Amino acid sequence: MTSITLFDAAQQVRQHLGEIDESTGELSDAFTTSLDLFQKKGAMCVAYDIDEAATIKAMEEALARAAEHVKARKARHERFRAYMADCMKATGTSKLTSPDGLFTATLYPDRDVSVELDEGAVFPLELCNEPKPPAPSKTKIKAAIERGEPIAGARIVRRDRLTIK
């Protein structure tokens, strides 16, 4: 048996639409049969659409829950690494190695340097990049601070780096 599509059923309805039984003046049996087929096929298509929409919604909700779990685990992992670094720093330990030497955690105190800017701080144009409106340049601000210039709303911050291999 060949499966008929909704489009094919609609075509059959259109083909038989103008057919009228000459003896009774009623629409032909072919029209009513094709219309019944179209309505049955249409009802199945509606059911499919509802099921597909529900499946998509469930999948989107599952993805959202998974994204929340990933976000929470990343945050917990960052806190754990900070905990390890704090404990290593407190004990004066710069390196932790597994007994078999397969993995190592190394703490590099004050290794990373960055510039922090206060929110809403305004900087002179010579410490900004060109785009309109001018945006503060952390590179220029860092150089100015290192030259000994006091820059309000900006500071150089040193952070420890923990590497795990």
Structural domain spans, the chain: 1-92, 94-164
Which stretches of the chain drop beneath a pLDDT of 50? 1
Task: State the Cα–Cα distance between residues 34 and 11, nearest whole angstrom.
Answer: 9
Please state, in angstroms and rounded to a whole number, the distance separating the CA atoms of residues 165 and 93.
Answer: 16
Q: Is 104 helix (H, G, I), strand (E, B) or coil?
A: strand
- In whole angstroms, give the CA distance from residue 158 to residue 156: 7
Mapped onto helix, strand or coil, the DSSP state of residue 23 is coil
The rounded distance, in Å, linking the Cα atoms of 58 and 67 is: 14
**Average model confidence (pLDDT) for the chain?**
90
Q: In which order are the strands placed within the sheet that holds 95-97?
A: 95-97, 104-117, 154-164
Label residue 64 left, alpha or beta by phi (over 0 means left) and psi (-120 to 50 means alpha).
Answer: alpha
pLDDT for residue 1: 46
Listed in sequence order, the DSSP H helices in the chain are 6-16, 29-91, 138-146
Query: For residue 124, what are its two tokens?
Result: 């002179």
Q: What pLDDT, on a 0 to 100 scale, did the predictor assign at position 2? A: 63
What phi and psi, each to the nearest 5 degrees, are found at residue 153?
90, 5
Hunting for tokens 């909700």 — which residue is that?
61
What does residue 136 show for φ and ψ, rounded to 5 degrees? -60, 140
pLDDT above 90 covers what percent of the chain? 59
Q: Which amino acid is at 60?
A: E
d(CA 75, CA 81) in angstroms, rounded, equals 10
Amino acid residing at 91 = T
